[in-house]
């Protein structure tokens, strides 16, 4: 029997939770992420950008919690470089431009989780990883994009570190699960504390 609801349509988050042996339902959140992001960026300065991930995760959890009695896990991840938030690329040309801007620099992936019950947030967690891309050549960039194809459009940084995307990097500082978008160990701790997993 499902112990909680994943309020996300993310195949990656679903896979991580399934691989951990958890029993859950999936109810994707119906929120306007672009509007939430735009409102937040208008109201807050660059120093508060990590809170945007919290805001998005909470909005997803809250929306779904109004449709179920079970605890709802919402999650989000943002990429920040030099005070700018990146969004998923809309096409391969934008993916190419994103990677050119990120190469040779360090960016931060910020992953946030929130659990909501009955329209209230009952738990939050946020973590960040520092990702330093190497100064790869244009030849390598074109070869990489040709290899990964449309998968480059499925993540904000145009890479998956569990695949060929690892070749873009010279240094990574942070938790693997934070990098892939769901810092799962704190969430498992919360489930055990609630008696939803054996301790």
Specify the pairing of strand 169-173 against strand 24-26. unpaired
Strand-pairing partners, residue 74, are 114
Q: Which two tokens stand for residue 130?
A: 């520092």
Catalytic residue, chosen from 39, 76, 127, 175, is 76
- Write down the number of H helices and E strands in the chain: 7, 7
Q: Which two tokens stand for residue 166?
A: 């690892």
Note whether 105 and 79 are within 8 A (CB).
no
Q: Is 146 exposed, middle or buried (0-12, 13-18, 19+ CB in 10 A)?
A: exposed
- The single residue listed with the structure tokens 């959140």 is 29
Note whether 28 and 60 are within 8 A (CB).
no
Note whether 36 and 87 are within 8 A (CB).
no
159 three-class SS: coil
- Whether 76 sits among the annotated catalytic residues: the reply is yes
Of 79, 97, 106, 180, nearest to 145 by C-alpha is: 97
* Active site members: 76
């Amino acid at each position: 029997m499902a112990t909680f609801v994943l309020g996300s349509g993310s195949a990656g988050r679903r896979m991580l939770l399934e691989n951990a042996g958890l029993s859950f339902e999936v109810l994707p959140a119906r929120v306007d992420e672009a509007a939430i992001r735009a409102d937040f960026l208008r109201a807050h300065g660059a120093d508060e950008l990590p809170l945007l991930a919290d805001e998005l995760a909470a909005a997803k959890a809250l929306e779904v919690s109004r449709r179920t009695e079970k605890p709802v896990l919402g999650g989000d991840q943002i990429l920040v470089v030099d005070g700018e938030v990146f969004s998923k690329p809309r096409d391969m040309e934008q993916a190419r431009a994103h990677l050119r801007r990120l190469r040779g620099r360090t960016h931060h992936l910020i992953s946030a989780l929130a659990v909501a019950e009955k329209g209230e947030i009952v738990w939050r967690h946020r973590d960040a990883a520092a990702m330093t891309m190497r100064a790869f050549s244009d030849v390598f960039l074109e070869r990489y994009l040709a290899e990964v194809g449309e998968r480059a459009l499925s993540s904000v940084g145009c890479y998956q570190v569990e695949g060929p995307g690892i070749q873009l990097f010279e240094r990574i500082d942070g938790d693997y699960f934070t990098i892939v978008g769901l810092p799962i160990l704190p969430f498992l701790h919360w489930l055990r504390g609630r008696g939803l997993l054996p301790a």
